[in-house]
Chains A and B, each alone.
Chain A
């Protein structure tokens, strides 16, 4: 079938302003949107730039706005979006070129929540024990691929660049609720202000946008609860 792509293009070397360009591509219903974008790049217009790698929803490279919603181009099939596909870069980050955005701020926020296990106790000779129940407590947030779809769908993040955004809180959650971690107090301190978890207004855009099916808003709510109750109580519950 013929699919018409309408793509927001911007090349700072030649364009003063972004503009839309249309491309017609012959595709199957079961093809990915990314297949269409590749066809355009490989056979019609090689100047068109995007990020992509794994092509099956794991590396987090190709989050973009597809018909107005944040999605991974490699995890969105043509049959899900129809014959007219409008593609734009994620909102809220400076555009480098076409669909490529500068994610430095996103990763700086991510790094700010201390996204690594903190535990200075000498480890045992074998593995630390963790029950399946304790492991399940933070399973959902281990799935995050840092694609940025949530944070760039969040009005609070659009409104305030200092708000760490849902993805960073998801990453913090992954450690706060890990029974092996001892750094929650430090981490929660960083999330206690309006730029942290309280920046969330429970709009749920993040949860809808997440291609990994993470319950982002729920994770943020759990972090908020820990802020109120103190980390240890919440964790042991």
Chain B
């Protein structure tokens, strides 16, 4: 029996209501002759962009007497990414940063202010002046709620421009016809009905997939749906071995403590009270890039210098004083008081590295167009932006404040390009039975009555445990081989996943099982790519290959999913325009 299915026709569809999706939608909406809609599994203001704390990077130079420049920002970003970032993209990112931040201000974003009324800026890891000389104040912030303000501001603009929303719709498949995108299939969560959005252009802006890991700063809903859906349809995933572990997650909970705490002067200490970053990064110290700081913390823990012999170090902000903490870091204070019962004004915060950000994802060009291969063939009508995409402007390790920037710069570019494309393209025919595969998958999960099946939670727990144990800050061939075998096993077991809820209305059980399938795809790509890259670069550190190997590995990984669940690799050169790779010291 064919399921009930509703058909919609639009010029452009945006999948995802986070910062990237709403940025694109806002620019699309300015073209009043185009019919655009946003579909999002969360009500847009619930998106994880809202949790971003520390700021958005732009070389406004509002505070430091030496000023700032986009070239310095570009250098820092390239160096932070361990020379894997595409420099043509980084140049766009850092140049357009300045006008984008002003534009956000003009839209109404309530930035914190300097005494003379300008946008306030603070220091952040890896951001320097004069090509690495000294830290610079580049992070434009609104207290420690910058992401909340960005998400709210974009959503407000969408209301102003009457953007059409399909809230709480879960995209379950992308409709491809050869190399062209024809639309997207979605499950209306409230009713359980399927909706087919037939469109000229579709943008995926579905966010990250940190829930592959047990300890993470990411929401339970960050499950890599976009990358997984496209991967299943033959699109490669780029640089998936590069996953960022943020140095300061709350011990055991993984909730993020922004780098802004160190930007304002907080320091990391081990069980001897030593400010150990002085040993690992003599110049930038606690403000070295995240991969460097996360490795330093793990090294301290391995050497037995965790606090009370446990798996954490202290983030000491007691030197900041109550005023700075209450004014510039109020939410951080609220988190530690709520979840730890401690006051950061007087007591150090227990922290451990937490899985935070996917540098890798869906390969795109500088207009957000999805790329199908190393030659750069474009999938017509298919776009990606935000954390789920890989432009790549972050290379092997993202600098703090550069993701929010990525969302607004490339979200806008994707929106503008889609508008132009959709205005000229015709809608094309849908392939036959476009809903068949996804409907079969959902019905298999929903109707599995076999006794042997397992709950999604069981499989998810095992995936998260092995990813956190073996695919973390330090990696070896042995660990990665073990993880690969385990993920493959879980992928087989997943085929028999069982849920309790057989109903249609708001079936969260079904949704979570579906999302687990996406996470398993992302984990599969991540582990295989990590095993394949036999060098250390940025966030990908191989103890058995501790050096960066530019001769062999100064290239992007493209991972393809093959019929027998094998992952096949191809490679793409790195765009190097201004900064030749050199050794990276902080």
A binds B: yes
In the complex, are the beta carbons of B455 and A43 less than 8 A apart?
yes
Q: How far is the CA of A135 from the CA of B108 in the complex (A)?
A: 12
- Mask, B211-224, CB within 8 Å of A = 1, is 00000000111000
Beta-carbon nearest neighbor of B341 in chain A: A30
- For B543, the chain A residues whose CB sits under 8 A away are none
Complex contact B503–A55 (CB within 8 A): no
One of A11, A51, A56 near B505 (C-beta < 8 A): A11
Q: How far is the CB of B158 from chain A (nearest CB, A)?
A: 9
Residues of chain B within 8 A of A51, CB atoms compared: 46
Residue pair B148, A130 in contact (C-beta under 8 Å): no
Count residues on chain A whose CB falls below 8 Å from chain B CBs.
Answer: 60
Per-residue contact bits, chain B 139-165, to A (CB 8 Å; 1 contact, 0 not): 000110100110010001101100000
In contact, A58 and B160 (Cβ under 8 angstroms): no
Q: Using Cβ atoms and an 8 Å threshold, which residues of chain B touch A11?
A: 503, 505
Residues of A within 8 A of B31 (CB): none
Q: In this complex, what residue of A is CB-closest to B331? A: A58
A100 contacts the other chain (CB 8 A):
yes
Given contacts A115-B156, A129-B117, A142-B110, contact A53 B46 (CB under 8 A): yes
CB distance from B100 to the nearest CB of A (A): 12
List B contacts of A54 (CB < 8 A): 46, 48, 50-51, 219
A213 to B334, CA, bound (A): 10
Q: Do the beta carbons of B505 and A61 come within 8 Å of each other?
A: no
User: Which of A120-128, A214-222, A225-233 forms part of the interface with chain B?
Assistant: A120-128
Using known A-B contacts A46-B500, A56-B51, determine if residue A13 contacts B505 with beta carbons closer than 8 Å: yes
Task: Answer yes or no: A59 CB below 8 A from chain B CBs.
Answer: yes
Nearest A residue to B143 via CB reads: A139
Which of B51, B117, B505, B507 is the one whose CB lies under 8 Å from A130? B117
Q: For residue A134, which residues in chain B have a CB less than 8 angstroms away from its CB?
A: 113, 117
> Looking at the complex, which one of A111, A119, A127 makes contact with B159 (CB distance below 8 Å)?
A111
B501 / chain A contacts, CB cutoff of 8 Å: 46-47, 49
CB proximity of A139 to chain B, nearest CB, Å: 8
Whether the Cβ atoms of B115 and A132 lie closer than 8 Å is yes
A52 cross-chain contacts in B, Cβ below 8 A: 220
With CB as the reference atom, state the residue of chain B lying closest to A122. Answer: B106
Q: For A30, what are the chain B residues with a Cβ–Cβ distance below 8 Å?
A: 339, 341
* Known A59-B46, A180-B108; contact A49-B506, beta-carbon cutoff 8 A: yes
Chief secondary structure at chain A's binding surface: loop
In the complex, what distance in Å separates the CA atom of A145 from the CA atom of B51? 11
Chain A's closest residue to B340 (CB) is: A30
Whether A12 is near chain B, meaning CB under 8 Å from some CB there, is yes
A131 within 8 A of B: yes
A86 interface residue (CB < 8 Å to B): no
- Mask for A97-118, Cβ within 8 A of B = 1, else 0? 1101001000100010001110
Which residue from chain B places its CB closest to the CB of A54 in the assembled complex?
A: B219
Contacting residues, chain A, for B456 (C-beta < 8 A): 42
Residue on A nearest B103 in the bound complex, by CB: A123
User: B107: CB under 8 A from chain A?
Assistant: yes
> Is A165 close to B, CB under 8 A?
no
Q: Give Cα A43 to B500, complex, Å.
A: 10
Within the complex, what minimum Cβ distance (angstroms) separates A162 from chain B?
A: 20
Interface size of B in residues (CB-CB distance below 8 Å)? 60
A74: min CB distance to chain B, Å = 10
Asked whether, in the complex, the Cβ of B102 is within 8 Å of the Cβ of A127, the reply is yes
Q: Is A55 a contact of B509 with CB atoms below 8 Å?
A: no
Cα separation A138 to B111 with both chains bound (whole Å): 12
Bound-state Cα–Cα, A111 to B334, Å: 29
In the complex the two chains form, what is the Cα distance from A166 to B341 in whole Å? Answer: 30
Any A CB within 8 A of the CB of B255: yes
Q: Would you give the shortest CB distance from B62 to chain A, in whole angstroms?
A: 9
Query: Which among B42, B145, B339, B500 is the interface contact of A56 at CB below 8 angstroms?
Result: B339
Asked, given contacts A42-B455, A47-B503, whether A58 binds B148 with beta carbons under 8 Å apart, the answer is yes
Could you tell me the distance between the alpha carbons of A139 and B142 in the complex, rounded to whole angstroms? Answer: 10
Closest to B98 in A: A126
Verify B50–A97 contact, CB threshold 8 A: no
What separation, in Å, do the CA atoms of A100 and B51 have in the docked complex? Answer: 22
A55 & B219 in contact (Cβ 8 Å cutoff):
yes
* In the complex, A91 has a CB within 8 A of chain B: no
CB-contact partner of A131 in B113, B499, B506, under 8 A? B113
B129 to chain A, nearest CB (A): 20
Per-residue contact bits, chain B 90-124, to A (CB 8 Å; 1 contact, 0 not): 00000000000110011110111111111100000
Q: Is the Cβ of B46 less than 8 Å from the Cβ of A50?
A: no
Give the residue name and chain of the A residue nearest to B222 (CB).
A53
A146 touches B (CB below 8 Å): yes
Q: Is B47 close to A, CB under 8 A?
A: yes
9 contacts between A and B (CB under 8 A): A12-B505, A41-B509, A46-B499, A51-B46, A57-B334, A127-B118, A129-B116, A132-B114, A145-B50
- Which 6 A-B residue pairings sit nearest by Cβ, starting from the closest? A117-B108, A46-B500, A129-B117, A42-B457, A116-B156, A46-B509
B residues contacting A by CB (< 8 A) are: 42-43, 45-48, 50-51, 60, 101-102, 105-108, 110-119, 142-143, 145, 148-149, 152, 156-157, 159-160, 190, 219-221, 253, 255, 331, 334-335, 338-339, 341, 455-457, 499-501, 503-509
Beyond A60-B46, A61-B42, A127-B111, 6 additional pairs, beta carbon < 8 A: A32-B339, A42-B457, A49-B508, A98-B506, A123-B106, A130-B117
* A contacts, CB < 8 Å to B: 11-14, 30, 32, 41-43, 45-47, 49-61, 75, 77, 96-98, 100, 103, 107, 111, 115-117, 119, 123, 125-132, 134-135, 138-139, 142-143, 145-146, 175, 178, 180-181, 213
